[in-house]
Amino acid sequence: MKIVVDYDLCESNAICMAIAPDLFEVRDDDFLYVLVEEPGEDRRSALEECVQRCPKQAISIAE
C-alpha cells in the first residue's frame, strides 16, 4: 500500500501526525511530510484512521 496526499487539500493540521508520527510529520515550515510512502501492512490500521479522521480528506491509500 502507498500513502497518497492531496497537498492542495491538506491544511497541515497534524491530526495524522498525532495518530501516526512514524508516517507523517508537520515541520516548522507548516507543511506535511510523508515519512514512509509505502508502510508495512502492520501500519494499515493507523493509516486507515488517518484517512478517516483527516478533516479535509486529503489522505488516501493506493493499493
**Would you say the C-alpha torsion 55, 56, 58, 63 has a positive or negative sign?**
positive
Q: What is the pLDDT of residue 38?
A: 98
The third-level CATH classification (topology) of the domain covering 2-62 is Alpha-Beta Plaits (3.30.70)
As a whole number of angstroms, the distance between CA 7 and CA 11 comes to: 8
Q: What is the pLDDT of residue 13?
A: 96
How is residue 32 written as a grid cell? 506535511
As a whole number of angstroms, the distance between CA 3 and CA 48 comes to: 10
Using the 8-state DSSP alphabet, how is residue 32 labeled?
E
Per-residue pLDDT reduced to its tens digit, 4-61 = 999 999 999 999 999 999 999 999 999 999 999 999 999 999 999 999 999 999 999 9
Q: Locate the domains of the chain by residue range.
A: 2-62
